[in-house]
Structure formats: structure tokens, C-alpha cells
């Protein structure tokens, strides 16, 4: 007889000497598969349909969020454009104010120069008037003093002569 190698002849030999344990594991696996099938059949819901519904809900939420973002983006664009327009108006007003300020500064410089010129002219006229008054006053005071002194002296001498004549 031909001897067969023990490892190749018996396929269950590699599991060892415990075919009962293998059978028990196979039975547990079969029971698990059967219970899942029974649960799907009697519960009325299949995980595949739940997953499809969940996926559709996620798509709807994503679409809604996308639309909300688009609306908010449009609102932000409109607000940004309004801000740009207002900023442009403020810049235009600032430019106009700067031009007015420059014109006022130019006018102020001109008026300042004119006031300086007028002040110099008034000082010149005061000096001229003061010098003419002092020369006129000197000319007028000299005859008055003489005439007053002359009158005083002549009046005194007349009083003396009268006093001598009386006495």
C-alpha cells in the first residue's frame, strides 16, 4: 500500500483535532447573517435606502447652504459697492475742501501782504504827519511864546510904570 502523507490527505487535519470548534464558529457566523437578514426583512427599513435618504438630505442641505452663501455674497458685493461709492464721494469732497483751503490760504496771503502794505503806508503817513505837526507846532509856538512874553513883559512894565506913577 501506498502511504499518503497525513497533512495532504485529510483537509480537516490542518484545523487540528477540534472539528467541533470549527463547526461552532461556522454556526455562529450563519446565525449572525440570518439575524441581519431577518431584521432587514421585518423592520421595513433597509440601510441602503436610509443611506440614500441621508445622502439626499445632505445634498439638499449643501444646496441650501450654497444658495445662502451666494445670497450673502451678493449682499456683501452690494454693500462693498455702496462703500466704494461712499468712499469715492468722500474723496471728492475732501479734494474740493483741499482746493477751497488752498484758495483761502492764497487769499489770506494776499490779504496779509495788503495789510502789511497798508500798515507801512499808515506808519509812513503817521511819521509824515507827526513831523509836519512838530514843524508846524514849532513854527506856531515860537511866535506865541514871543508874543506872550512880549505881552507879559509889556504888561508888566506898564504895571510898573503905573505903580511908579502912583507912588
Over the stretch 47-88, which tens digit does the pLDDT of each residue have? 677 788 889 999 999 999 999 999 999 999 999 999 999 999
pLDDT at 157: 57
Over the stretch 103-138, which tens digit does the pLDDT of each residue have? 999 999 999 999 999 999 999 999 888 888 777 766
| Cα–Cα dist 88/86, whole Å | 5
DSSP H helical ranges for the chain: 6-9, 19-43, 47-166
The alpha carbon torsion through 45, 51, 55, 56 (nearest 10 deg) reads: -20
pLDDT at 49: 75
For residue 5, pLDDT beyond 60: no
pLDDT at 149: 54
Amino acid at each position: 500500500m501506498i502511504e499518503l502523507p497525513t497533512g495532504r490527505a485529510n483537509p480537516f487535519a490542518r484545523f487540528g483535532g477540534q472539528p467541533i470548534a470549527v463547526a461552532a464558529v461556522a454556526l455562529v457566523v450563519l446565525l449572525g447573517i440570518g439575524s441581519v437578514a431577518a431584521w432587514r426583512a421585518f423592520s421595513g427599513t433597509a440601510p441602503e435606502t436610509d443611506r440614500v435618504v441621508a445622502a439626499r438630505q445632505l445634498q439638499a442641505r449643501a444646496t441650501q447652504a450654497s444658495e445662502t452663501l451666494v445670497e450673502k455674497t451678493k449682499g456683501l458685493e452690494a454693500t462693498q459697492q455702496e462703500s466704494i461709492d461712499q468712499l469715492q464721494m468722500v474723496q471728492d469732497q475732501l479734494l474740493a475742501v483741499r482746493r477751497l483751503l488752498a484758495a483761502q490760504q492764497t487769499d489770506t496771503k494776499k490779504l496779509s501782504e495788503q495789510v502789511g502794505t497798508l500798515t507801512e503806508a499808515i506808519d509812513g503817513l503817521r511819521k509824515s504827519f507827526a513831523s509836519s505837526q512838530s514843524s508846524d507846532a514849532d513854527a506856531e509856538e515860537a511866535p506865541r511864546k514871543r508874543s506872550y512874553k512880549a505881552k507879559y513883559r509889556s504888561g508888566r512894565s506898564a504895571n510898573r510904570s503905573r505903580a511908579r506913577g502912583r507912588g
